[in-house]
Amino acid sequence: MAVLSVDDTYLGAFTADAEGKLLTVSHCLSQMLGYSAQTMQGQEWLSFVAIADHSQVKIGWEASLQAQQPFCAQFRLRQANGECLWVAGQLVPTWTEDGSLQTIQGICLPLLSPPSPLPQVEWEQKVTAVAYSIGCSLNLRQVLHSAVTGVQQLFQVERALIFRLEPTWRGTVMTEAVSSAWLSILDRVIADSCFARLHSSLYQDGKPRVTNDIRAASHLSPCYVDLLTSFEVRAILSAPIIQERQLWGLLILHQCSGPRQWQPWEIAAAQQLATRLGVAIYQCEQLQQLQRANADLERQVQKSNAQLKLAIEFEATLKRIADRVRDSLDENQILQTAVRELAIAAGVSNCNASLYDLETRTSTVCYEYTTFLEPVQGRIVMMDNFPEGYRQLLQGQYFQFCSLLPNPKRGRVAMLACPIVDDQGALGDLWLISQEYRAFNEQDIRLVQQVANQCAIAIRQARLYQAAQAQVKELEKLNRLKDDFLSTVSHELRTPISNIKMATQMLELALSRLELLEANEANPISRYFRILNDECQRESRLINDLLDLSRLEVVEDVLTLTDIDLSVWLPHLVAPFVERARGHQQALELDLMPNLPLLTTDLSRLERILNELLNNACKYTPANETIRVMAKSDGHQMCLSITNSGVEIAPQELAHVFDKFYRIPNNDPWKHGGTGLGLALVKQLVETLRGSIHAVSSCNQTSFVLQLPLAIAVLPGITQTAPEAGIKSKPLPSEAPCDATP
C-alpha cells in the first residue's frame, strides 16, 4: 500500500485527555474528515473510527496501554459525508509521575490505497479454523492439545501453552506446543509471587496483555523478567481464559528468538481464541462433572437398592408379625404369635416373652418358642436376682451379652433382651437366645424393638378392650334397670291418672248439673276445675310419651304401611291447626309441590310426627309470625318441612333439641310448658319409618326437615293396607328446596 509523504498538508494530528476526549484537532485532520475543529473537540477519538474497525482498534489500543507502548495500526475513519478514509495511525500515551495516563498524542496519515483485503480474509479463516478445532471435542486433553497446536501454527511462535491457575495464584503448565530448539516447560509448577501481586488483577477484566520485548519493557518487575528469561522468552502475548466470571488460566504465546511487534489483529485473535477456549473448557469440565456425578449416582443407586431391598424385607417381616400380633385381643395369643414369628424371622434357637408384676417384682415367662433348648415356660423370675439387667429393662433399654460360664442346661449362648414398654411403663420383655458366636446386629435389634412395640400396643389394646367390655356390660345392666324403672313407673302412674281423669269427668258432670261451672274468670270453682283438668291432661301426655319411648327403645313395633296422597291428606291434617294459629295471631301456610307421588309409610306414626311438629310450631311461634308446611319430592324420597319465623335457636342449643327431657330456656312465648320428650319421640318414630329428621335455624327462622323414603320395603312384621282416602285438594305451587333451609 502507498502512503502519502508526511508534510503539513497531509498530516492529521490531535491531542486527547486520559478519558479519550479530544482536546485539540489539527486543521489538516478536520479538513481530512470534513468536520470543524469545534465539532470534534470534546468527543472521544474512538467515535470517529469506522464501526467495522472499532472493536479491533479498541482492543489494540487497550493492549498498548497495558504494555505502556505506542499503538500503531491501519484502520478507517468516518468522514462527514458518510464515507470511510483509510489511515495509518499512531497513538502515543503520556504518563504522570505516579504512572497514571495523562494525555494521548495521535497522528493519522491517509493511505493512497486501502490495504488488500485478501490477507485479512485468510487470517480470519485461519482463526475460525483454530476456533472450530478447539470445539470439536469434549475431551479436555484433546481440546487443550488442539488449542496450543493450532495457536502455534497460526501465530508462528516458538511456544504456545495453557497455564492453569489455582486460587493461590500458583499454577501449572497443562499443555504446550514448542519448537524443538527451545526449552519445554510442560507440567512445570510455577509459584510466582510477582504475578499474584502485580499482574493478576490486569486479567480480571478479560483483556490480553502484551510485551514486545521484555528487556526493553519498563512496566515489568525485575522478578517477572527473571522468570520469563529462565523460560527463554523474549516477547509474550497472554490472553485470559475466563470461566463464569473467574480467571481460569491463560493462553500464552512466547516468542523466544527475539522481540516481536504484536499486531492488533493478533491480539484480537488471541482474545477470541481464549474466549472460545474458555467455553470449550467449561463444556469439558461440565461433562466430566456429569460423568463423575453419574458414576457417583450409579454407586448410590446400587447402594440404595441394596438398602431398599433390606428395608423391604425388614418391613415385610415386621408387617407380617405386626398384623398377626394385632389380629388378637387375647394377651396369651399375642405373645404366642410374637414369640414364634420373631424366632423364625431372627433365626434364633429360642425366644420367650414374659410379663411383669411390678408390685411383687417378678417376671413370668408366659410363652416360649424353642428348637432344642429345655423350655422354661411358666417359670417365675425374681427381678432382684438379676438387678443390673432388669434395671435397664424397666428403664426401656435393651441389652445383649454372651455368657462367660456355660449354663448347665443351655451351655454358652448369646442373648438379646428387649423390654415391652409403652407410655405407662414396662409391661414385660422379649428374650432371644442364639449360639455363642452370634452378635445381634442393628437390624436384629430394630426388628426386636419394633415387635416389642407392637406387642405393647396389642397388649394395652387387649387390656383396654377387656376393661371396655366390662364397662359395656355394666352400662347395659344400668340401662336395663333404667328402662325397667321408667316402664314400671309409667305403668304404675297410668292407673291413678286414669282414675283421676274419670273422677274429673264425673266432677265436671256434677258441677254442670249444679250450674257451678260458669265461663267466668271470677268464679274460683271454674278456675280450679280448669287447672285440675289441664294438669291431668299434661300428666297423661307425659306418661304416654314415656311409655311410647320405652316401647320403641326396647322392641320395634310392627309397621302398617299405607299409600298416602299428601296433596289430599295434608290439608285435612293441617286444618285444626289453622284455627289455633289464628287464635294466636299467627299465619299458617301449606305449600305442596305439584304432582306429588304417593308416599308408602305408616299413617299413624306419620300423623303423630306431624302433629307433634305442628304443635311445637304453634307453641313457640310469636304473634304476627308465619308457620309454613312444605312438601316436596325428588323422585326417591319425600321431604316434609315445618318452618316458623320469628324464632331462632342458638347453635349450641340446636344440637340438643332431640335429646330426652331437653327444653330450650326462654323460648316459650305462650308459656305452654312441656316435658322435653316430644322431639325425642319424633326422632324415634322417624327412625322406625326408615327416615331422618334434622333442624336448621338461621335468619330469624327455624325449620324441622323430615325426609322419608317414598316406599318402605315390605319385610316380615310389616303389613300394607289400601290407600288412604280423602278429599282431593289443589296443591299450592312451590319452588322451595328439598332441605327447606331458611
pLDDT at 741: 38
| Dihedral angle over CA of 139, 141, 147, 152, nearest 10 | -160
Distance CA 143, CA 472 (A): 85
Please give the average per-residue pLDDT across 29-50, as a whole number.
92
Checking if the pLDDT of 725 tops 70, the result is no
- pLDDT of the residue at 404: 67
pLDDT at 546: 67
Indicate the pLDDT class of residue 44, thresholds 50, 70 and 90.
Answer: very high
Residue 94's Cα: distance from chain center in Å? 66
pLDDT in tens, 464-481: 888 888 888 888 888 777
**Residues 239, 271: contact at Cβ < 8 Å?**
yes
pLDDT of amino acid 719: 59
pLDDT confidence bin for 726, thresholds 50/70/90:
very low
Q: What is the pLDDT of residue 739?
A: 44
Superfamily of segment(s) 12-115: PAS domain (3.30.450.20)
Nearest to 238 by CA among 160, 314, 178: 160
**pLDDT score of 157:** 92
Please determine, for residue 694, whether its predicted confidence score (pLDDT) is greater than 70: yes
Q: Quote the pLDDT of residue 489.
A: 66
pLDDT over 70 at 734, yes or no: no
In the chain, count of helices (H) and strands (E)? Answer: 16, 25
User: In terms of pLDDT, which residue wins out, 251 or 677?
Assistant: 251
Question: What distance in Å separates the CA atoms of residue 512 and residue 440, rounded to the nearest whole number?
Answer: 102
CATH topology of domain 329-471: Beta-Lactamase (3.30.450)
Is the Cα torsion angle 32, 33, 35, 41 positive or negative in sign? negative
CATH code assigned to 557-720: 3.30.565.10
What mean pLDDT is predicted for residues 173-200? 79
Coil/strand/helix, residue 116: coil
What 3-state DSSP class applies to 641?
A: strand
What are the residues whose beta carbons fall under 8 Å from the beta carbon of 287, sequence distance 6 or more? 138
Q: Which residues fall within 8 angstroms of residue 274, CB to CB, at 6 or more apart? A: 208, 239, 240, 241, 242, 250, 251
pLDDT band at 2 (very low <50, low <70, confident <90, very high): very low
Mean of pLDDT values over 88-109: 88
324: enclosing H helix or E strand? helix 264-325
As a whole-number percent, the residues of the chain with pLDDT over 90 amount to 25
User: What gap in Å lies between CA 240 and CA 250, rounded to an integer?
Assistant: 5
Q: How confident is the model at residue 6 (pLDDT cuts 50, 70, 90)?
A: very low
**Position 422 pLDDT exceeds 90:** no
Task: Record the cell numbers describing residue 456, joined without a space.
Answer: 405393647
* 75 contact partners, CB below 8 Å, separation of at least 6: 49, 50, 53, 56, 57, 86, 87, 89
The residues, any chain, with a CB within 8 Å of residue 296's CB and separated by 6 or more, are: none
Per residue in 424-451, pLDDT (tens digit) is: 888 999 988 887 777 888 888 888 888 8
Q: Say whether domain 119-289 belongs to CATH 3.30.450.40.
A: yes
Phi, psi of 628 (to 5 degrees): -125, 125
pLDDT of residue 724: 45
Whole-number average pLDDT of the chain: 82
Q: Which of 239, 233, 240, 264 is nearest to 57 (CA)?
A: 264
pLDDT of residue 732: 34
Residue type, 426: A
Q: Where are the domains of the chain?
A: 12-115, 119-289, 329-471, 501-551, 557-720
Q: What is the pLDDT of residues 574-607, one digit of tens each?
A: 988 888 888 888 899 999 999 999 999 999 889 8
Which pLDDT belongs to residue 152?
92
The model carries a pTM of: 0.39
329-471 and 557-720 agree in CATH topology: no
DSSP for 656-673 reads: TTTSTT---TT--TT---
pLDDT grade for 33, boundaries at 50, 70 and 90: very high
